[in-house]
Amino acid sequence: MSTGRLTINLDAVVANWRALDAMTNCKTAAVIKADGYGLGSVNVAKALFKAGVRQFFIAVAEEAAPIRAELGPRPEINVFSGHMKGDTEAIRALNLTPMLNSVEQLTHHFETLPGHPFGIQLDTGMNRLGMEMQEWAAIAGLALDQNPTLVMSHLACADEPDHPMNPYQLANFRTMTDGIGVPRSLAATGGILLGPDYHFDLTRPGIGLYGCDPFTDANPVIALEFPVIQIRDVAAGEVVGYGNTWQAERDSRIATISGGYADGIIRHLSDKAIFYHGATPCKLVGRVSMDLMTVDVTDLAEVPKALSLVCAEQSVDDIARRAGTIGYEVLTQLGARYNRRIYSK
């Protein structure tokens, strides 16, 4: 093995979906955008479909083609970006349900695909996507007359349970949608954890399926290890890596491992990341380069053949905190060079 090995446990994805679904009394969909958060949307969708999921959400229409080819016509596939110009044929051919975000998208959809399913996305305060309150009030009657399949909004601060933005958006969503007679959706993973007031008719878990915060009880989904290419002894005072950013304070043993920022291990982890050999931590020293990283293995009792980054001792979110980012970014940055081992019963 000359590249890193990424183990993906699809059974854990399914278990996480079931756990989140069990927290609600409504329908539970699954978000598989960004190639299933970097883990392979087709494999994730297949596993979840087998478990009973019949509604998926993606970011853009192009993401639907391999999923539809694998799963056929049965699942509903919703597109968060709505009906963009240039997407009409894909929406028609792949039978997608765009979540229309503006009056312009609504008009475009009705003109180009009359009678085709659609949903509505509302802005309840995040100021990112969706129709604002006055805009929705002006066209709600027209839109509702065309029988949308879903009306949704998105919470900005659901990962902070006590944030005042959560009840503020909930109140706005109710003001905009109470009594419309159409299925409603407000909660992704964080919203599910906020409780029943946020669940409505459909929840849309994403990051929680993949084992990350804010679903702290999630089953770990991935493991990631890198092979050791070379071991060298470095005398006290010698330097390692680009820019001479690390200098040995003692006689040290350094392992060069196969992996780098081309594999999604961002440079901000330079001199910060911790790898593991079994339960023993080993510090990354020097800069993360494109294809290689150097790790201090001086204190190991044996010469390692591989070192682990995501394992029982360290989660995706642990790594994200060291890098000053979030688990979403760590997952979606995973590169294409890994030897991917898919685990599923």
Question: What residues act catalytically?
Answer: 33, 242
d(CA 89, CA 70): 19
Phi, psi angles (nearest 5°) of residue 314: -150, 120
Q: Which residues, including other chains, have CB under 8 Å from residue 43's CB and lie 6 or more apart?
A: 8, 10, 36, 342, 344
CB-based burial label for 145 (10 Å; 0-12, 13-18, 19+): exposed
d(CA 85, CA 104): 10
Contact 17, 47 (CB under 8 A): no
Tell me which residue of 286, 284, 287 sits closest to 261, measured CA to CA.
287
d(CA 36, CA 27): 20
